[in-house]
C-alpha cells in the first residue's frame, strides 16, 4: 500500500518525530509517531514509541489491524539485531 513517512524532528540520542500516512497531502488518517530514547543508570536505553491518531475511532482501527503486535515484533527484531 502507498505510504509516506515525513521526519519532522531528529534529536540524536533523544527523539525522532515523524508523520506517517499516504502521499496524499490531505490524508485524513495521517498520524504522528514519536520515538524517545532514555538512557538508564545502568547504561541501557529505554525506547518508547508513541502514536497520536486523528481520532479515537481511527486509533481503534489501527489497534484492530494489529499495530501493537506488529510494533512489538519490530522492536523484538531491533533488540535481536542490537544483541547480535
pLDDT in tens, 15-38: 999 999 999 989 999 999 999 999
pLDDT band at residue 2 using 50, 70 and 90 as cut-offs: confident
Which residues touch 63 (CB under 8 Å, ≥6 apart)?
none
Per-domain residue ranges for the chain? 4-83
Give CATH for domain 4-83: 3.30.310
Whole-prediction pTM: 0.83
Amino acid at each position: 500500500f502507498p505510504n509516506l513517512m515525513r521526519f519532522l524532528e531528529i534529536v540524536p540520542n533523544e527523539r525522532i518525530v515523524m508523520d506517517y500516512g499516504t502521499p496524499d497531502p490531505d490524508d485524513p488518517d495521517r498520524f504522528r509517531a514519536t520515538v524517545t530514547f532514555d538512557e538508564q543508570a545502568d547504561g541501557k536505553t529505554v525506547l518508547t514509541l508513541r502514536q497520536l491518531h486523528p481520532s479515537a475511532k481511527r486509533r481503534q482501527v489501527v489497534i484492530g489491524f494489529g499495530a501493537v503486535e506488529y510494533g512489538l515484533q519490530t522492536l523484538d527484531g531491533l533488540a535481536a539485531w542490537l544483541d547480535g
